Chain A
Amino acid sequence: MTTDGTGHESVDLVRPYVITNGQELPKGDEFELVTLVTAADGGARRAQLDPERRALVELCCGGYLSVAEIAGHIGLPIGVIRVLLSDLAGNGQIVTRNPVPTAQLTDIQVLQEVLDGLQTRFG
């Protein structure tokens, strides 16, 4: 596993499909690029997992990361990460927080918060 996610330009195309045991790639809406993920139960039960799933759960033990960040840190394509995540979610080993959890939260509010945040940080 690398921490910067680079150097994987030539990930062997066969390998990811072996990792995912031939499952279909889930559609994007279950795990969007910015869906936030963390390990359930502090990553207990990860010892029985295969190396890729274990690495993923270990990474997620430290706190919340987006799906995109997980793919970047692990160095596997997003589609493969989605398969692994949906597996692990099925086993209750990871939990997600959806990008915008409450329906009441409109784009107007999000935009205002983004603007305030940018101005505070860079203003």
Chain B
Amino acid sequence: MDSRLVSDDHTYLSEQVRIAAKILVVGHFAVGKTTFIGTLSEIPPLRTEETMTRAGAHIDDLRGVQGKTTTTVAMDFGRLTLSDTLVLYLFGTPGQQRFVQVWEDMARGALGALLLVDPQRLEESFPVMDLVESYGIPYAVGVNYFDESERRPDDELREALDLLPDTPVVACDARDEASSAGALITLVKYLQTRTS
């Protein structure tokens, strides 16, 4: 096997890549999504915008109303080449309800989601949890401890977030590669139990 999985400058994918998988990294404002993606990505994380318009609106109609019914929202993403035929993309986006169009795009074909939570601001996670659940995306919870002294028992977090018994909860430091990869591995193992 060629050990060089990506192009010399790491911009392009290998010729042999056949499968592009997608996992979402979601969570409320400033919970660490961009940090998490940057920690794991092999390319400098990219940012892109979705222009949000009224459903079915024709472009010409938009010229007159630009700035009123359109708005742009950023999502960031990173890439991990996992074998010579498989690449994994991590997509992160804000969890606000008004960004549903972005969610539809992100959710299509996603294997699952890692929901990052800040134990100090658990209640802010509920709108995002509702969104993930409404798209039927299976998820695991990654607890981003900003301050080690604030550690809370998993039981307490589960109860506060009202999680289903089999939803995994894993501590993760979004700045740390091994810790972030561990959270992703926990998610993927959980997804396997759901498809078997």
Note whether A and B form a binding pair. yes
Q: Taking beta carbons and an 8 Å cutoff, which residues of A are in contact with B?
A: 4-6, 8-9, 11, 13-14, 16-17, 20, 22-25, 28-29, 32-36, 62-66, 68-69, 71-73, 76-80, 97, 99-101, 105-108, 110-122
- Determine the interface band of chain B, counting residues with CB < 8 A from chain A: 35 or more
Judged by DSSP, the binding face of B is mixed
Q: Is the CB of A23 within 8 A of B59?
A: yes
B19 CB contact (under 8 Å) in A14, A20, A99: A99
Q: Is the CB of A33 within 8 A of B58?
A: no
Q: B35 within 8 Å of A by Cβ?
A: no
Q: Is the CB of A22 within 8 A of B59?
A: yes
**Per-position 1/0 for B7-38, Cβ under 8 A of A:** 10001111101111111000000000000000
A84 to chain B, nearest CB (A): 13
Pick the interface stretch among B102-110, B146-154, B167-175: B102-110
Q: B48 within 8 Å of A by Cβ?
A: yes
Which residues of B sit under 8 angstroms from A22, Cβ to Cβ? 58-60
Which residues of A sit under 8 angstroms from B53, Cβ to Cβ? 25, 79
Q: B51 within 8 Å of A by Cβ?
A: yes
